[in-house]
């Protein structure tokens, strides 16, 4: 474990310099399809922040207290995805019973999340980079916030350009990818400002 | 089964229904590895292996599995094949395994694999599902290989690690960095869609 | 609502799921166990290759030859690797150094001349830097430029290193370059300490 890796630095680094979407391309599928509207983007973004932070924490605990002692590290792909799927199911059930308003706002996005690569990606990165429990939590939280920011910005831009005339082949995914590229460029400007380790 | 159907199943995902530039699926895990041709090829082989066998396995089991747990079974099957890819790479190609890092694991959440299982394997016999999985994987692979070819060429001045441009070439660092991947894919989609529209 | 049997609705899915999980885990575990020896051998070999490379010894083609060469030329004393030259005298001392990188720890083998005054070579054992950018530290040109360099080192923009103690940084990966510099310099300090204490 690395003492130099401060949770706060990891948190801000995960939002800006190492944005999970713009620098690791994770969560692209739902990003491209959902970013058409600001409202749905906000809902999905919020759900991602929540699920990412909690599942990263859960997966850290499972990995370090269950898989490592049993020497089953190689099963981590299955175990992580099961933890994520089970957690998402559980949350969906709880929200459905507790608050209808919240279910209407978040509930419909939860099934989309299990297949959001960013969630699993964060858990896998946390293992490879050997983060501590606290760092992992902040890494998950920061990545979620970063993803939220990116999809919100994209939804806003797409709304602005909705009436613009775009070359035929570029409509839809094409222009979205170009905007994502420019956003990635802009976010790269943050590197150097924040020192992730 | 008419052989025409087999051919059609094989051809559709390569062009008209291409998972990458028509359905825009599975971009997540693999844009990241397209800055080097070698990594891309190993990665796409992993994806082809996984989609082919997952679709096949799921199609065999499709009548036994209750609807409630369908998604979970799909994930389990995919995860199993991905772990096999991971273990094999780790044992036989440790250098590449290290470079790919977590991206092998992310084949699990590659929407193409699950998408084909849901859309095709769930309602078709194993043989056809196998072909569909295979050709979806290939349709995905060749797009990525083209992108990786240009990214490596422009970004590092090399192909498969061999220098092709020599000293006068100054590398376009942006091609290797994340924005380059977005731009390359956008340009690719632009060209292909423009052609298709004609 | 139509009453569905408790068994078909609740128990059957669980049984099927459990059965499938067990089958899958059994298959995966089988493959894992059958390749385990190979993986361990790979990891050992990886370190041996790193030590030999850092020590400036040309790596032979096959794995068996690498193992043999390592046995012949390298002696492990505590955490120090003593690399001997063709004549049998000590040609280099090497040790593993770990430090923070941009995304995670960077681990490298650093080898020094017998007088512990300059680098013989370096090789990275573990790194998580950005592929194509920071990860270029593993490219030969970057590692080869360390050969024979005295420390402390200074980083200069890519392609401009000339004076002694200067090494080329990597364009577009300033942070990784800075971390690597820090790691190499701390390796230098460790070497200096070893020299003062006597090895």
DSSP of A27-66:
THHHHHHHTT-HHHHHHHHHHHHHHHHHHHHHHHHHIIII
B137 domain-assigned: yes
Q: Does B129 map to a domain?
A: yes
Across the A/C interface, how many CB contacts are shorter than 8 Å? 34
Helices (H), chain B: 3-11, 28-31, 37-61, 70-92, 94-100, 111-119, 126-156, 173-176, 178-197
Q: Per-residue pLDDT tens, chain A, 197 aa: give them.
A: 344 457 877 888 788 877 888 877 888 877 887 888 888 888 888 888 999 999 999 999 999 999 989 888 888 888 898 888 888 888 888 888 887 877 777 767 777 777 677 888 899 888 888 888 998 999 999 999 999 999 999 999 998 888 888 887 788 788 888 999 899 888 877 766 654 43
Domain count, chain B: 1
Q: Using CA atoms, how far apart are residues B152 and B33, in angstroms rounded to an integer? A: 11
Mean per-residue pLDDT for B166-183?
80
CA distances from C129 to B87, C102, C133, C181 (A): 22, 6, 8, 14
- In a domain, residue B13? The reply is no
Q: Determine the structural domain holding residue B126 and report its residue range.
A: 35-197
Among A91, A92, A123, A101, residue whose Cα is nearest residue A24: A123
The answer to the question of residue B8 being in a domain is no
Tokens for A105? 């706002």
The answer to whether the CB atoms of C128 and B66 lie below 8 A apart is no
Query: At residue B197, does pLDDT exceed 80?
Result: no
Q: Which two tokens stand for residue C156?
A: 């200069």
Note whether A88 and A113 are within 8 A (CB). Answer: yes
pLDDT score recorded for residue A197: 39
What is the three-class DSSP state of A176?
helix
CA angle B160, B34, A35 (to 5 degrees): 170
Residues of B in contact with A76 (CB under 8 A): 105
Task: Give chain B positions within 8 Å (CB) of A119.
Answer: 109
Q: Give the model's pLDDT for residue A3.
A: 43
Q: What is the mean pLDDT of residues C51-67?
A: 85
CB contact under 8 A, B27 and A32: yes
Q: How far apart are CA B43 and CA B51, in angstroms?
A: 12
Mutate to test the interface with A, among B106, B115, B143, B144 (most CBs of A within 10 A): B106
Instruction: Tell me whether C13 touches chain B (CB under 8 Å).
Output: yes
Asked if residue B164 is part of any domain, the answer here is yes
Rg (CA), chain C: 24
Average pLDDT, chain B: 83
**b/e sequence A52-68, b meaning 16+ C-beta within 10 Å:** bbbbbbbbbebbeeebe
Searching chain C, which residue's CA lies closest to the CA of residue B33?
C131
Contact C28 A78 (CB under 8 A): yes
CA atoms within 13 A on the CB side of A175: 19
User: Which residues are CB-contacts of C87 (< 8 A; sequence separation ≥ 6)?
Assistant: none
CA distances from residue A193 to A17, A18, A196, B116, C129 in whole angstroms, order as listed = 8, 12, 9, 43, 18
| Comparison of pLDDT for B189 and B32, the residue scoring more | B189
- Cα–Cα nearest to B37, from B139, B171, B189, B176: B176
To the nearest whole Å, the CA of C166 is away from the closest chain A CA by 22
pLDDT value of residue A5:
55
Q: Six-digit token pair at C68?
A: 């043999």
- Tell me how close the Cα of A160 comes to any Cα of chain B, in angstroms: 19
Which of B83, B180, B189 has the CB atom closest to A78's CB atom? B83
pLDDT band for B29, please (50, 70, 90 cuts): low
Q: What is the pLDDT of residue B177?
A: 78
Nearest to C175 among A74, A129, A191 (CB): A191
Mean pLDDT of B155-164: 80
Interval B103-112: pLDDT, tens: 787 788 777 8
| B64 domain residue, yes or no | yes
Check: CB of residue B155 under 8 Å from CB of residue B171.
yes
Edge-to-edge strand order for the sheet containing C74-77? C74-77, C80-84, C90-100, C105-112, C119-126
DSSP A128-166: HTT--HHHHHHHHHHHHHHHHHHHHHHHHHHHHGGGS--
pLDDT of res. A91: 83
CB atoms A192 and C179 under 8 Å: no
| SS3 per residue for C28-46 | HHHHHHHHHHHHHHHHHHH
Half-sphere exposure of A130 (CA within 13 A, CB side): 17
Longest dimension (CA), chain C: 89
Nearest to C94 by CA among C86, C84, C104, C103: C84
The Cα-based distances of C171 to B69, B181, C75, C157 in angstroms read 50, 18, 38, 7
pLDDT digits (tens, 9 = 90+) for B33-92: 777 888 888 888 999 999 999 999 999 998 888 877 787 788 889 989 999 998 898 888
Quote the mean pLDDT of chain C: 84
pLDDT at residue C4, rounded to an integer: 61
Asked if residue B69 belongs to a domain, the reply is yes
Q: How confident is the model at residue C144 (pLDDT cuts 50, 70, 90)?
A: confident
- Position C1 scores a pLDDT of 47
In a domain, B128, yes or no: yes
Q: How many CA atoms lie within 13 A of A12 on its CB side?
A: 12
Q: How far apart are CA B138 and CA B14, in angstroms?
A: 7
Only one residue has tokens 């699990």, namely B108
């Amino acid at each position: 474990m690395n003492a130099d890796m401060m949770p706060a630095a990891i948190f801000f680094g995960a939002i800006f310099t190492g944005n999970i979407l713009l620098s690791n391309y994770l969560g692209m599928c739902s990003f491209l399809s959902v970013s058409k509207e600001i409202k749905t983007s906000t809902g999905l973004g919020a759900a991602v922040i929540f699920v990412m932070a909690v599942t990263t924490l859960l997966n850290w605990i499972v990995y370090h207290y269950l898989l490592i002692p049993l020497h089953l590290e190689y099963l981590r792909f299955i175990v992580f995805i099961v933890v994520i799927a089970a957690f998402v199911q559980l949350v969906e059930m709880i929200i459905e019973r507790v608050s209808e308003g919240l279910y209407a706002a978040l509930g419909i996005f939860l099934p989309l999340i299990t297949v959001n690569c960013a969630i699993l990606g964060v858990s896998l990165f946390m293992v490879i980079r050997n983060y501590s429990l606290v760092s992992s939590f902040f890494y998950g939280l920061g990545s979620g916030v970063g993803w939220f920011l990116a999809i919100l910005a994209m939804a806003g831009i797409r709304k602005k350009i909705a009436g613009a005339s775009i070359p035929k082949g570029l409509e839809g995914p094409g222009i979205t990818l170009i905007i994502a590229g420019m956003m990635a460029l802009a976010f790269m400007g943050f590197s150097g400002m924040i020192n992730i380790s | 089964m008419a052989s025409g159907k087999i051919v059609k199943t094989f051809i559709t995902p390569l062009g008209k229904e291409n998972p990458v530039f028509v359905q825009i699926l599975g971009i997540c895990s693999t844009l990241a590895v397209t800055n080097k041709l070698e990594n891309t090829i190993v990665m796409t082989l992993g994806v082809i292996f996984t989609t082919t066998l997952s679709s096949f396995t799921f199609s065999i089991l499709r009548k036994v599995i209750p609807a409630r747990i369908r998604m979970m079974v799909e994930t389990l099957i995919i995860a199993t094949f991905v772990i096999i890819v991971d273990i094999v790479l780790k044992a036989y190609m440790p250098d590449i395994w290290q470079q790919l890092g977590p991206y092998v694991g992310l084949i699990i959440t590659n929407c193409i694999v699950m998408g084909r299982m849901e859309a095709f394997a769930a309602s078709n016999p194993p043989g056809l599902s196998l072909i569909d999985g295979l050709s979806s994987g290939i349709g995905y692979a060749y797009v990525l290989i083209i992108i990786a070819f240009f990214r490596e060429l422009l970004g590092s001045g090399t192909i498969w690690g061999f220098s092709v441009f020599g000293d006068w070439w100054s590398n376009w660092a942006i091609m290797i960095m994340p924005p380059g991947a977005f731009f390359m894919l956008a340009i690719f989609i632009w060209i292909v869609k423009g052609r298709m529209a004609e | 609502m139509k009453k569905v049997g408790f068994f078909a609705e609740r128990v059957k899915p669980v049984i099927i799921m459990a059965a499938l999980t067990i089958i899958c885990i059994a298959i995966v575990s089988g493959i894992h166990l059958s390749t385990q020896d190979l993986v361990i051998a790979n990891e050992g070999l990886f370190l041996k290759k790193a030590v030999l490379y850092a020590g400036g010894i040309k790596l032979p083609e096959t794995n068996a030859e690498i193992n043999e060469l390592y046995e012949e030329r390298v002696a492990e004393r505590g955490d120090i690797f003593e690399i001997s030259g063709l004549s049998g005298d000590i040609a280099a001392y090497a040790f593993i150094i770990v430090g923070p990188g941009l995304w995670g720890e960077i681990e490298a083998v650093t080898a020094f001349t017998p007088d512990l005054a300059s680098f013989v070579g370096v090789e990275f054992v573990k790194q998580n830097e950005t592929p194509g950018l920071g990860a270029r530290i593993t490219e030969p040109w970057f590692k080869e430029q360390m050969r024979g360099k005295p420390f402390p080192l200074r980083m200069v923009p890519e392609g401009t290193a000339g004076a002694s103690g200067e090494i080329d940084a990597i364009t577009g990966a300033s942070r990784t370059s800075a971390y690597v510099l820090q790691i190499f310099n701390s390796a230098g300090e460790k070497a200096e300490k070893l020299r003062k204490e006597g090895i």
